[in-house]
Amino acid sequence: MVNGRDVDMRTSLCGIELDKPVMAASGTFGYGLEFAELYDINVLGTFSFKGTTPEPRFGNPTPRIADCTEGMLNSVGLQNPGVDKVLEEELPELAKVFHKPVMANVCGGSPEDYALVAEKLSQCDQIGWLEVNISCPNVRSGGMAFGTDPKAAAEVIGAVRKVTTKPVIAKLSPNVTDITEIAKACEAAGADGITAINTLLGMRIDLKSRKPVLAREMGGFSGPAVFPVALRAVYQITRAVDLPVVGCGGVRTAEDVLEMMMAGAKAVQVGSQNLVDPFACRDIIEALPAAMEKYGIKNLREDI
């Protein structure tokens, strides 16, 4: 056994050092400010802030959240103040409480939208990585997500690649037949890394009204129930492409983090668990040395 106090939790993501492998996933941590009121968020490796679009978005009509067994459904609709307000207001406030590079989640309805947001965010020194959310609906193709088609995914990644020198990480949708084909297309288009996975598509029906619970009928299913799906995707992707992978989906314990890294992930995002327990990331990080000790892991970069 190793001594939990002596373990090395450092990892590297696209050439940027992380002192911890745990980060909060986009859409579950806002811009960090609310969580910073509860604990020192610098204990995180980093976090991915809310999905950002060219213009402000109010989001989808309510109800847009629903409970499920071992998870939740959401159809928030990328509610955000728009890229200019993020740069002018949110990030300067974040800089007061978070002193590490932060991950920006880039969204849009066309390749041009993504490129616009990415180019603007790239001017900010606080931002270390651009996480490109290709699960957004392609407005030119009737709403089908960019990430369900290799050519569309490559077009978005290529557009972002042209406007930035920062690491570009493609966040992939699991709602496909073969996720490795999307990953390969992103790699060929210039992606520096992959986040896997975004939410699964799901729905619930209210028995009394006999109608879908969500106003938009379907939404993204996340939570502990999706962990095996996410783990499988990470395992497949790391063996299909030569890119670092960030594992995401259903993570709620330090043991889940280690399992994701054993599947091949270089870092791990905690998503919906932040909405269940706002201290989730902090507690997972605090429990990680003991979990490493239990399984004889002294160095995350060498022993997994």
By annotation, the residues acting in catalysis are 136
Residues 40, 46, 48: CA angle, nearest 5 degrees:
115
**Other C-beta atoms lying within 10 Å of the C-beta of residue 177:** 7
Q: Which residue type sits at 37?
A: E
> In the 8-state DSSP scheme, what is residue 124?
-
Distance CA(253)–CA(235), nearest Å, equals 19
Distance CA(33)–CA(47), nearest Å, equals 12
Q: Which residue type sits at 9?
A: M
Supply 11's token pair. 């990892």
Supply 184's token pair. 């390969």
Q: Which residue type sits at 87?
A: L
Residue 253: its H or E element: none
Supply 10's token pair. 């450092």
Which residues face 193 on adjacent strands? 169
Best CA proximity match to 206, nearest among 300, 55, 66, 301: 66
- Residue with token string 């030569």: 242
Distance CA(285)–CA(269), nearest Å, equals 12
Q: Which residue type sits at 206?
A: D
Best CA proximity match to 195, nearest among 235, 258, 246: 246
